Chains A and B, each alone.
Chain A
């Protein structure tokens, strides 16, 4: 484990960038993306984000935490260096996993609003503003858009959590003026206030390298008076498993057991899984 709180970091400055992230002295929104051997899709994602915000006056910053990947150590970095400008990059030098990467990103950004976004999401115009409008609701900790498949069908409008720790996506999207309160939403795209992140303690490291830390955080939020809200007026496209070349379905049985150990109330309170 790296004992230094200051891993390598730099801002990209490609001489011929495909996408340039504007610089704001006092960003309101800090976008944080955790990469792990991610390929060119991250450039597509950043380009769609910048384009989606081109007509807004929201000041923002974009930071990538480039977790070390044994077989593709410089892959993400090379793509960013070649094709982007103004992207802030932090390289921990080892793999912090998803939760650790997100938290490292929090430490290296300053916006009052945090937006954790996967490197394999494509943003649509007007997706952010509807989410920001719900952040002042004291009963809401996390706001998320509806995640769509590339063909436009609904991937999830949040998830339901069952008593055995299994989960199922909500496939009925709320209308444009509606919201949904799921048990949690995938952290592929989360928006929250920094103070709320602080109050809740951040993502837990217990689920390393990834999966179920978002469930854990959402349960903590709900237990402490907040919760998750999916906003129908906001949609983005999520390319599942686009973060790496690995398209296999991950085994999350260990993370699921960890969740049930840390949250024994899940077995008592959540409904039985469907037959």
Chain B
């Protein structure tokens, strides 16, 4: 079993990108990866944030226990709906469309959600909200105003984050820096 996978998004950090959207993306990528590698751990890093050089997507032993990189355009297209681009390789857009209509039907998507705030996040976290659902709700909002504390609630337990950081550091040290 793969104990750890570290992925880097080759995209400079964008100041305008809210951390909750980044965290949602991490959840989605982890969700997709976990289906193939049950129990794997994931750390996302962006260019400029990394500790060591990343192996290329094509040349790296993916999936595996080593640090690998996912090129920007694999996961993200500015001209396309984010979820479709994000799931383009694994989840059919038809499924996304069905899910979107169902969330509208259930009242989770709608005009009232133009602002995504702490209260809305708190409400959603009481449900077994899936990465797809969370992505759709956050992506629909015109304005995202979520406190750091609320984002922390989404991130999971601190122990897991610390373990992930440790794994990330170990892998980074093992990478040839020449």
Q: Which residues of A are interface residues toward B (Cβ below 8 A)?
A: 1-6, 96, 99-100, 103-104, 106-110, 194-195, 198-206, 208, 220, 223-224
Provide the bound-state CA to CA distance between A201 and B92, in Å.
Answer: 9
Q: B128 near A108 (CB under 8 angstroms)?
A: yes
Contact of B142 with A by CB under 8 A? no
Q: SS class of chain B's interface: helix, strand, loop or mixed?
A: helix
Question: Interface size of B by Cβ–Cβ distance < 8 Å?
Answer: 30
B104-132 interface (Cβ within 8 A of A): 104-108, 110, 112, 123-124, 126-132
Residue of B nearest to A199 (CB): B91
Residue of A nearest to B100 (CB): A201
Other-chain residue from A5, A201, A223, A224 in contact with B106 (beta carbon distance below 8 A): A5
Minimum CB–CB distance for B86 against chain A, Å:
13
Contact of B18 with A by CB under 8 A? no
Indicate whether A106 sits within 8 Å of B91 (C-beta atoms), given known contacts A5-B123, A201-B99, A205-B105.
no
Q: Which of B91, B105, B123, B124 has the most CB of A within 10 A?
A: B105
Number of A-B contacts (CB under 8 A): 81
Provide the bound-state CA to CA distance between A8 and B26, in Å.
Answer: 31
B48-106 interface (Cβ within 8 A of A): 90-92, 94-99, 101-102, 104-106
Q: A106 near B107 (CB under 8 angstroms)?
A: no
Q: B107 near A198 (CB under 8 angstroms)?
A: no
List B contacts of A107 (CB < 8 A).
Answer: 106, 108, 127-129, 133
Provide the bound-state CA to CA distance between A199 and B31, in Å.
Answer: 10
Q: B110 near A3 (CB under 8 angstroms)?
A: yes
Provide the bound-state CA to CA distance between A99 and B107, in Å.
Answer: 14
Other-chain residue from A5, A108, A200, A203 in contact with B124 (beta carbon distance below 8 A): A5
Q: A198 near B132 (CB under 8 angstroms)?
A: yes
Q: B105 near A201 (CB under 8 angstroms)?
A: no
Contact of B149 with A by CB under 8 A? no
Known contacts A1-B105, A199-B90; 9 additional CB pairs below 8 A are A4-B123, A5-B106, A199-B91, A201-B94, A201-B98, A202-B98, A202-B99, A204-B98, A206-B101
Q: B126 near A224 (CB under 8 angstroms)?
A: no
Q: A6 near B106 (CB under 8 angstroms)?
A: no
Indicate whether A96 sits within 8 Å of B98 (C-beta atoms), given known contacts A5-B123, A108-B127, A110-B128.
no
Minimum CB–CB distance for A236 against chain B, Å:
26
Q: A201 near B102 (CB under 8 angstroms)?
A: yes
Provide the bound-state CA to CA distance between A3 and B128, in Å.
Answer: 18
Minimum CB–CB distance for A209 against chain B, Å:
12
List A contacts of B128 (CB < 8 A).
Answer: 106-110
Provide the bound-state CA to CA distance between A205 and B127, in Å.
Answer: 20
List B contacts of A223 (CB < 8 A).
Answer: 92, 94
List A contacts of B14 (CB < 8 A).
Answer: none
Minimum CB–CB distance for A140 against chain B, Å:
14
Indicate whether A199 sits within 8 Å of B95 (C-beta atoms), given known contacts A3-B112, A108-B128.
yes
Other-chain residue from B31, B106, B110, B131 in contact with A100 (beta carbon distance below 8 A): B106
Q: Which of A3, A6, A103, A202 has the most CB of B within 10 A?
A: A202
Minimum CB–CB distance for A270 against chain B, Å:
19
Provide the bound-state CA to CA distance between A201 and B99, in Å.
Answer: 5
B25-45 interface (Cβ within 8 A of A): 31, 35
Indicate whether A6 sits within 8 Å of B126 (C-beta atoms), given known contacts A199-B91, A199-B95, A201-B94.
yes
The 3 closest A-B pairs by CB, nearest first: A201-B95, A201-B98, A205-B105
Q: B107 near A4 (CB under 8 angstroms)?
A: yes
